């Protein structure tokens, strides 16, 4: 009995310490997704007509998306950093049961970003059709691996 209590006490102490350890990982992966959203936004605003089309800007943003897609995201998702274990993250525990699928969804994003990269400099009209698959790739992963807003 006493032993159980002390084991529990250790856990109680351990949790916040571990949470601290992953602070950088949470910031990094959420920052990475923000980088993606900002670059996508540059192109999306042009596609919507909210911003003037600028071939060079559009190309730079698409190149950035492709560059991010070529990194391996798993290093930012260490075991124990799910929304169940920690505050301040929406990464669902299902990620760690399906890392292969997560990587497949990540490469689907890379492929769609590549499609966007090819046409980004070709004028405003080319953007919309190439954005569709990118949005589908983002949603497909959020659908399964990200919780709704807290």
Partner 1 sequence: MIRAILLGLAALACLAGAAGLWLTRAHPVEAARFEGLTGDAEAGQTLFTAAGCASCHHAPDAEGDARLVLAGGQRFPSEFGTFVAPNISPDPDAGIGGWSLTDFASAVIRGVSPEGAHYYPAFPYTAYTRLEDQDVADLWAFLQTLPESDAQSIPHEVAFPFNIRRAVGAWKLLYLRNEWIRPAESTELERGRTLVEALAHCGECHTPRDALGGLRTGAWLAGAPNPSGDGTIPSLRPEDLDWSASDIAYYLESGFTPDFDSAGGHMAAVVANFAQLTAADREAVAAYVKALPPE
- Judged by CB under 8 A, which stretch of 4-12, 99-107, 112-120, 142-150 contacts partner 1? 142-150
Residue count, binding to ligand HEC (CB under 6 A): 23
The CA distance from 67 to 36, in Å, is: 10
Would the annotation count 25 as a binding residue?
A: no
48's contact among partner 1, ligand HEC, none, with CB below 5 to 8 A by partner kind, is partner 1
Binding-site member from 65, 86, 113, 131 for partner 1 (CB under 8 A): 131
Residue 127 touches which member of partner 1, ligand HEC, none, C-beta under 5-8 Å by kind: none
- Would you state the structure tokens that stand for residue 84, as one six-digit string? 């169940």
> How many angstroms separate the CA atoms of 67 and 11, rounded?
40
CB 109 within 8 A of CB 141: yes
- Strand, helix or coil at 50? coil
Map 58-110 to HEC letters. Answer: HHHHHHHHHHHHCCCHHHHCCCCCCCCCCCCCCECCHHHHCHHHHHHHHHHHH
* Residues in 22-51 at the binding interface with partner 1, rule: CB under 8 A: 33, 37-38, 40-41, 44, 48
User: Which partner from the list ligand HEC, partner 1, none does 133 bind, CB cut-off 5 to 8 Å by kind?
Assistant: none
141 is in an annotated binding site: yes
Exactly one of 90, 101, 121, 126 binds partner 1 (CB under 8 A); that residue is: 90
In this chain, which of 8, 9, 37, 55 binds ligand HEC, going by CB under 6 A?
37
């Amino acid at each position: 009995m006493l032993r159980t209590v002390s084991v529990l006490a250790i856990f109680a102490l351990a949790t916040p310490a571990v949470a601290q350890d992953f602070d950088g990982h949470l910031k990094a992966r959420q920052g990475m997704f923000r980088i993606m959203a900002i670059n996508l936004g540059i192109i999306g605003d042009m596609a919507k007509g909210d911003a003037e089309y600028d071939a060079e800007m559009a190309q730079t943003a698409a190149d950035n998306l492709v560059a991010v897609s070529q990194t391996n995201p798993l290093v930012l998702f260490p075991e124990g950093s799910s929304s169940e274990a920690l505050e301040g993250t929406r990464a669902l525990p299902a990620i760690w049961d399906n890392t292969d699928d997560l990587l497949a969804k990540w490469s689907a994003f890379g492929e769609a970003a590549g499609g966007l990269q090819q046409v980004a400099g070709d004028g405003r009209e080319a953007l919309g059709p190439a954005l569709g698959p990118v949005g589908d790739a983002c949603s497909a992963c959020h659908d399964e691996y990200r919780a709704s807003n807290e």
